[in-house]
A and B are shown apart, each in its own frame.
Chain A
Amino acid sequence: MEKKIRMLLTRHPYDGHERGYNVVATGLRERGIEVILGGTQLAGEIAETAIQEDVDFIGYRITSGEPTILVEILLQKLKEKGADIPVIVGGIVTSKDIPRLKSMGVIEIFGPGSSLDSIANFMKNYHRGN
């Protein structure tokens, strides 16, 4: 049997809103992805959990923070710990920031209105490709 894709879904402690986070967790699980809930975590904690849990993806949910700064810190922490885990960002990202996040190494960004199917399919295709 094919091993299930594992994802750490996480958000920053300052980012209180969690409805989208819960909906995505439930939706991805229904689509056969194993979701590890990180809850609220700072970048260092995210990197540590991702390594410990040996996940295939990190899903970083950002709504009210500044995505470029938060992602930069997370990628830095992952690099320090020698982890090469692809990061997906979900939440509020302006169209201007999307290319910036991609050039930093984020593999995909899902904004408001993204269907759960589109997120799950993207992950499955990406995983197959690697």
Chain B
Amino acid sequence: MDKKEIEKIKEARKEYDELVARTVQKTPEQKTKYETDSWLPVDRLYTPADIKGTDYLRDIGFPGQYPYTRGLFPSGHRTRTWSKRQVVGYGTPGECNQLWKNLIAQGQTALTAAFAISGGGTKVPWDSDEELMIGYGMKTNAKGDTVADWEEVLEGIDIDKINFLLPVDNWVNFAFFVAAAEKKGYDRRKLSGSVSSKVRMLLYPENRGNPYIDMVEFCANEMPNWNAFYVDARNIREGGLTAVQEIAWGIAVGMDGVRTVMERGIGIDRFGPRIQFYVNAGSDFFEEIAKFRAMRRMWARVMKEKFGAKDPRSWRLRAGVQTYGPAMAAQQPLNNLVRSAFHGLAAILGGAQSLSIQTFDEPLATPSEFAQILSLRTAQIIEHETGVTDVVDPLGGSYYVEWLTNKLEEEAQKIIDKLEDLGGACRVKACSWFYEQMKASAAKYQREIDNKERILVGVNEYVMDEEDTLATFAPHLRKYDPVLLQKQIDRLNKIRKERDNSAVETAKKRLYEVFKARENIMPPLIEAAKTYISGGEVIKVLMEARGKQYGPRGGDKLENELELALFTYH
């Protein structure tokens, strides 16, 4: 639009503003201030004048083309529908296997495996007979100890047809998964999926010997369809970040990670196409949609212009989405079905590649199968009944959405600059600063709920007595069963006794040498896993090689707490 036309619109706007002023004088607006969930003030109306600096071809462009604001693929969800990827898993490996099969039969096309060799809020694998398991084991996400558990949990599942996400941020777990697949006769080159991994971890300050970078290098060489470079902005969002802070954290962590992998001498286009982002989708509908658009544009520019990536696939920010947990209320839990449908819709209108919709019972217990199927159905209804996937980026060109996309980018860039000034997002200084930002946002949000400046239906308004509601769902909620934990411990002891222990000892020696030499740990770890070494045993060898005390949490206290705070889920 040329300058003259913009001026005409601005002129005409004055008349509109006067009309508004008169109307509002008679009938005041509902709220005294209007802001997005990131506390960005919003006007009541947007026009071409609000996006006058935007150049269509430069800043918006076409789907499937740089800078990908309108989506990664030319034909959007018409050609590539998103993966239906619920986060699923609880109980023993056998129970978990049954649950996975049931959901696949209901149309789930990908799996976020809430099954791992470690579990809960810890990153380091430990064995089921540790004190840590008491009160938790087999109630929350399913936890295994050896490859035997992975073999059981994968039984009867076409591993090369289901795209896996291993969300528990854990390189040992990844090696165990690959080992189990290979024991079942699958070719590692054909496996597709992602593993949650932070390439620049506080606990592994050096490049050589950092098992997360080992994974990236290993996959670049041997698993072409696997994403080992994984940027998690989603989980920390739940700690209280705003959408703006989530964008900033994602892009800044990605940048720090890219530099770290390049330092090891791996060319950007060897791993760039396999970078996977994990993003949230919360309650402010348009802000969430604009967030995906802004993130894609920012990442494309960072990869192309800052890091010089040449392969267009390296420019594309692929977003896996899990919707916003903290919006799920324990009060009147069925309301959560409605909320998460809107969250899922925002993710799809934003152009997400995969989607896991939070279950309505999430605030009460580990998601039940009953609730998982309802979440899956929500995604299927979005896909088949709403028609929103018929047109690519249907909200592109909305004056508000384009303005908001620009605004989010601008605000996020300020935070990215700050994180870069502090040495890069994944350094202790930057993390400490950002952690305080996160806590401040969470506290502010809570104050607004307490003061009723922010209304949450059924939580601080429209409250009702609902003892009966909870009783209705009680039979579906998962309970702790100490017998199941004991069964898992017995199983581990049996494996320890029956496996070829001389092979385990040989594997341990090899692992020790490789850890000590700081060579890539992945190939020997996959081989070691096949001897039925346990996750806890692997970590003991690592600690010994590094001269550190073994503990189920490992590492220095401050770094460990920051690591937990910023790199795990909330």
Q: A interface vs B, CB < 8 Å?
A: 12-19, 22-23, 26-27, 39-40, 42, 64-66, 69-70, 73, 92, 94-95, 111-113, 115-117
Contact = CB atoms under 8 A, between A and B. Distances in A.
Nearest to A22: B439
Given A19-B442, A26-B439, A95 B135 contact: no
Contacts of A22: 239-240, 438-439, 442-443
Interface in B356-374: 363-366
A14 B450 contact: no
Contact of B553 (A18, A40, A66, A69): A40
A92 B366 contact: no
A113 B135 contact: no
Contacts, number: 114
A23 B326 CA distance: 12
Interface of chain B, main secondary structure:
loop
A112 B331 CA distance: 8
A18 B235 CA distance: 11
A16 B132 contact: no
A14 B330 contact: no
A73 B552 CA distance: 18
B281 to A, nearest CB: 17
14 contacts: A13-B132, A14-B132, A14-B136, A15-B120, A17-B569, A19-B240, A22-B442, A23-B446, A39-B557, A69-B135, A70-B135, A92-B365, A112-B329, A116-B450
Classify the interface of chain A: helix, strand, loop or mixed: loop
Given A73-B134, A116-B450, A66 B122 contact: no
The 4 closest A-B pairs by CB, nearest first: A16-B121, A14-B120, A66-B480, A112-B330
B158 interface: no
B516 interface: no
A18 B239 contact: yes
A117 B449 CA distance: 12
B541 to A, nearest CB: 21
Interface string B452-478: 000000011000000100100010010
B282 interface: no
B334 to A, nearest CB: 15
A13 B553 contact: yes
Interface string B484-527: 00000000000000000000000000000000000000000000
Interface size bracket, B side? 35 or more
B108 interface: no
B570 A17 contact: yes
B480 A69 contact: yes
A39 B558 CA distance: 10
Contact of B450 (A12, A42, A117): A117
A95 B467 contact: yes
Interface string B308-334: 000000000000000000100111000
A111 B561 CA distance: 25
A80 B202 CA distance: 36
B140 A64 contact: yes
B565 interface: yes
A14 B116 CA distance: 13
Contact of A14 (B122, B438, B460, B569): B122
Interface in B550-569: 552-553, 557, 561, 564-565, 568-569
Given A19-B442, A64-B140, A115 B450 contact: yes
A55 B446 CA distance: 26
Given A16-B568, A22-B239, A111 B139 contact: no
B443 A23 contact: yes
B384 to A, nearest CB: 33
A66 B135 contact: yes
Contacts of A12: 135-136
B11 interface: no
Contact of A92 (B120, B326, B330, B482): B330
A95 B552 CA distance: 32
Nearest to B326: A19
Given A19-B238, A73-B134, 19 more contacts: A14-B120, A14-B135, A14-B136, A17-B569, A18-B564, A19-B442, A22-B438, A22-B439, A23-B442, A23-B446, A27-B446, A40-B121, A42-B132, A64-B366, A65-B136, A69-B135, A112-B363, A115-B450, A116-B450
A94 B439 CA distance: 27
B119 interface: yes
A97 B95 CA distance: 26
A14 B119 contact: yes
A64 B120 contact: yes
Contact of A16 (B330, B438, B557, B569): B569
A113 B459 contact: yes
Contacts of B438: 22
B131 interface: yes
A116 B474 CA distance: 27
A118 to B, nearest CB: 10
A65 B569 contact: no
Contacts of A94: 470, 474, 477
Nearest to B456: A113
Contact of B136 (A64, A115, A117): A64
Contacts of B439: 22, 26
Nearest to B325: A17
Given A23-B446, A73-B134, A13 B561 contact: no
Contact of A13 (B330, B459, B552): B552
B118 to A, nearest CB: 10
Nearest to A115: B450
Contacts of A13: 120-122, 132, 552-553
A94 B442 CA distance: 25
